[in-house]
């Protein structure tokens, strides 16, 4: 199934209840021939409103970090393990909530479809939810950050690092950012 057809079908997905409150489905973007695919957790507030992955604060940090690591964003396919924004309302703000394992599994056909169409050489999991979606529920980013694995049922290599939003929340943002850039540079070197 082509990426366009996958996107079209994902937009009508009711495999879990997240579609009920989200503004729209946020499908992956980038070249279908990308050598690198980066997988995040779930769209954030701005991604949900704009319909594109990594366009909010975490996306801006990711762009800057990729640039410093020598990675051209326009050559990367960016997506999320879950395609609808999960949140709780706090006043007028919509605050991100981590998707459940059931919600991740409900979106897995879309993510696996994207992987099957793009056929990247390298997948970079941004955060625990993405890593667990592809490497199993027992995977721990804290234990295996930066290690390289074979992606099951694929010719791709896969590695994991923190999600850029974790850098934004860090008490020592400078140190966390440097570690994140180093992880991205090391991942890029795999190619």
> Can you give the CATH number for the domain in which 57 is found?
3.40.470.10
Nearest to 36, CA basis, from 139, 151, 147, 180:
151
What is residue 153's predicted lDDT score, i.e. its pLDDT? 84
Q: Is the pLDDT of residue 15 over 90?
A: yes
Question: How many domains does the chain contain in total?
Answer: 1
Q: What is residue 154's predicted lDDT score, i.e. its pLDDT?
A: 87
Q: What is the pLDDT of residues 78-123, one digit of tens each?
A: 999 999 999 999 999 999 999 999 999 999 999 999 999 999 999 9
What's the domain range around 104? 3-190
Taking the model in full, what pTM does it have?
0.96
Asked whether the predicted pLDDT for residue 1 surpasses 90, the reply is: no
Q: Burial letters for 26-63: b for 16+ Cβ neighbours within 10 Å, e otherwise?
A: bbbbbeeebbbbbbbbbbbbbbbbeebbbbbebbebbe
Mean pLDDT of 111-140: 97
The pLDDT confidence band at residue 165, using thresholds 50, 70 and 90, is very high
Q: How confident is the model at residue 12 (pLDDT cuts 50, 70, 90)?
A: very high
Q: Does the structure show a pLDDT above 90 at 152?
A: no
Instruction: Residue 156: name the closest of 191, 189, 182 by CA.
Output: 191
Percent of the chain with pLDDT over 90: 97
Q: What is the pLDDT of residues 51-70, one digit of tens each?
A: 999 999 999 999 999 999 99
Mean pLDDT of 146-164: 94
* Rounded Cα distance, 75 and 115, in Å: 15
Separation CA 13–CA 73 (nearest Å): 28
Continuous H helices in 40-79: 45-50, 57-69
């Amino acid at each position: 199934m082509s990426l366009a057809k996958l996107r079209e079908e994902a937009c009508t997905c009711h495999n879990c209840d997240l579609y009920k409150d989200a503004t729209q489905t946020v499908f992956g973007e980038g070249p279908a021939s990308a050598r690198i695919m980066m997988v995040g957790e779930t769209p954030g507030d701005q991604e949900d409103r704009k319909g594109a992955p990594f366009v909010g604060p975490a996306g801006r940090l990711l762009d800057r970090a990729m640039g410093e690591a020598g990675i051209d964003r326009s050559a990367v396919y960016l997506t999320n393990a879950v395609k609808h924004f999960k949140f709780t309302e706090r006043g007028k703000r919509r605050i991100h909530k981590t998707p459940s394992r059931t919600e991740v599994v409900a979106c897995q056909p879309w993510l696996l479809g994207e992987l099957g169409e793009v056929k990247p050489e390298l997948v970079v999991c941004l955060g625990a939810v993405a890593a667990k979606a592809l490497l199993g529920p027992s995977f721990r980013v804290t234990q295996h950050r930066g290690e390289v694995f074979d992606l099951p049922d694929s010719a791709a290599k896969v590695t994991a690092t923190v999600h850029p939003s974790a850098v934004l929340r860090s008490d020592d943002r400078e140190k966390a950012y440097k570690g994140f850039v180093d992880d991205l540079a090391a991942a890029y070197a795999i190619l």
